[in-house]
Amino acid sequence: MTDKITRENIGAPNAPFYTPIQNPPPGTFVKTTQSNGVIENIPSLFTPLKLRGITLPNRIALSPMCTFSAQDGALTDWHLVHLGQFALRGAGLIMVEATAVTPEGRLSPNDSGLWNDEQIAPLKRIVDFVHSQGVKIGIQLAHGGRKASTIAAFINVKALGNNVKYSQLLPEEFGGWPNDVIGPSPIPWDDEHANPKELTIEQIHEIQESFVAAAKRAEKAGFDIVELHYAHGYLAHEFFSPISNKRTDQYGGSFENRVRFGLEITKKVREIWSEDKPLFVRISATDWVDDEDSWEIKQSVELSKLFQALGVDLIDVSTGGNTPKQNLAVKDHFQVPFAEVIKKNVDINVATVGLIKDPKLANGIVENGQADLVFLARSFLADGNWAIRAAKELGVLIQTPVQYNYAIRSFL
């Protein structure tokens, strides 16, 4: 009898532990929950999205979120639980937080990293678990540029002095590297950040190759997607924007020169990243600065066209982060209009992010063609069951792990 039960309850393939096959994967539309059993169309938020050789079961993605909890760049059991929970709760895609391609590219000493081979195994453990549930997972590769060597968001900083605050420069005696912070030009983000050293051409090429090496390690870890982080005032964005890039060589001045750094990385990564796996790029569509020459939506549209020509599959549209002068009014859905502009002007998939809370409004973003994918960060942290609740509010039932189905469906 035991042998028969075992044969009829085959575990998920390639999982290093027993777990039932989740088929279809969590987050997949199952049926309508309307009383008459009739639904004309599946809500757009719960339609699949095909990107090269992978298909996401819905348009809800866990956004990359810095948690400042790694050890020497390596992720831990905390990350396994933090990220793994969303594989059980209906997210169509899970993204690992911004992962530095060099030690000096970290924002804080506790950032995720992928600059050496020892960091592959902890990531692979997370990837293997997520895959065991039939869910797709990606990783965001980043370099903090002039915003590196800062204090993590939740760290108690009283030991540093009474006037120290989050994101301020972290000195060497507390694990920082203030003398090794770099940027396209020697312009600090503000008075409380490092004075960055201007990158030489040789150093630029070394960092570009660090992105390539990190992407190769991501391949070894088994990731389905790589996203290049070119937003939020980090290194690539610093090159893009004339606020932070005052160079006079081939990496500064004109639009073509300022975007060269990011385009060269993208081309190199696309060449070594598996042909059947998608490549994402996150950008800040605007600096939110009107009174000086800055980065804005028209340039983002043109850059997105160049990314599309290089084989990028999706533009993840955020905004801001490159200057304390930004005139940024944070409110619900405040970045959606920028994603919509790129979606309407570039033949490429587009994602949006930023205080998206209401499921019906999120569904409308996809239904109205403003974006193809919705990234959630704080909404998922506040409610790990956001996707399940969204399905209920939109009148449908989605798949959950077979171990959870009875309990969850009995509450809906």
What residues are labeled active site?
A: 234
Q: How many CA atoms lie within 13 A of 341 on its CB side?
A: 16
Distance CA(263)–CA(258), nearest Å, equals: 10
Structure tokens at 329: 């009014």
Structure tokens at 48: 């699949």
Distance CA(14)–CA(17), nearest Å, equals: 9
Distance CA(352)–CA(257), nearest Å, equals: 27
Give the three-state DSSP class for 207. helix
The answer to whether 59 and 46 are in contact (CB under 8 A) is yes
Structure tokens at 284: 């800040």
Listed residue (373, 399, 386, 380) closest to 44, CA to CA = 373
Listed residue (182, 192, 187) closest to 160, CA to CA = 192
DSSP 388-404: HHHHHHTTEEE---TTT
